[in-house]
Structure 1
Amino acid sequence: MDLSPVTLTGRLVRLEPLSLDHHDGLVEGTQDGQMWDRWYTSAPAADGVAPMIEQRLAMRDAGTMVPFVAVRLRDNAVLGMTSFYDIRHDVPRLSIGYTWNRESAHGSGTNPESKLLLMTHAFDVLGCAAVRYETSWSNQQSRTAIERLGARLDGVLRADKVERNGALRDTVVYSVLAHEWPSVKANLEHRLRHR
């Protein structure tokens, strides 16, 4: 899989490769709805944005993550972040996650379009056999959004990780397989056309 940085553009949102230039927009995004205060998300507080960018860029350089920033097309506002991670060249497969968006963008269609752009790239360009999504059992909003994408439940990993607040996290794992992609894609395109 060629995981070179790429910009993916839809009707509502543009996914750009993460850079240090996105710092101020990401800080603003975390403050819209205090996204950092939700212990089950990966959104940092304002003072954690720079270290998070540096960490994700280091992971990009190590080949373990491809981080993107979501930018709303109508006003170029930075909405949040998402990433390819858990990259397995042997299968090939990857996961989409570490996603958060400013609260005012929730329900606007930008997140489903972001996922459509990412999965189209993963399946149609990179040739993935599977795309995975993981979320906390406690994050019902994320679980519902993943299920609405058309991903299927693979299972729950009990006591899988430690959350930022110290609680043990049960991780819910979903996936879309390559043979399921055409119908998942058609459903997402239909949803976005009828917004």
Structure 2
Amino acid sequence: MRIHHNHPPNLPSSVVAIGAFDGVHRGHQRVISQAVKRSKKYNVPTVVYTFDPSPRSYFQGARILTTIEKKIEHIQRLGVDHVVIARFDETYINRTPASFIDELTNISPLEIHVGRDFRFGKNRSGDVDLLAEHFQLQLTESVCCPGGTIISSTRIRNLLSQGNIQEATFLLGWSSSNFVSQDFAYQSNPS
């Protein structure tokens, strides 16, 4: 897998999954796995476009579930060919939606996979409808646990804060000792 910082590679075609993917939980795994499956069908590379730090961490100070290194490790296990890591900072948040769309044209996506709530550009002014005007868009439905509750990074953070490592680990879909940020786990479950 090739890692690209701040700029995607120039590719003749690809299938792309975009998101913060903090925790690379079961819902994220579905988005990425669907993109990998489609890229194999088209015989083109899969690209994951993600952010460091995650937007929620940048704007709201939310604790991250994984370091960027662990995020990359888990994305690689899903069979991705390229990862673009956009530095999420003051410069990035002031980009126009058109700038983001122009950047995506460099990787020539045959399809882009995102969640329904995906937003981009300054003040979150770009949305899935705008993205669909430029690219073939595949919206991934939310993934729910057996009880019917949506799996989300926020929910996992809350479970960890409450010391519920077992349920958080189930929602993540990865081993907690291998996956959850150690300082988060220690603070959530003090000795």
**When the two structures are superposed, what TM-score results if normalisation uses the length of structure 2?**
0.35
Q: Which has the higher helix share?
A: 2
**When the two structures are superposed, what TM-score results if normalisation uses the length of structure 1?**
0.35
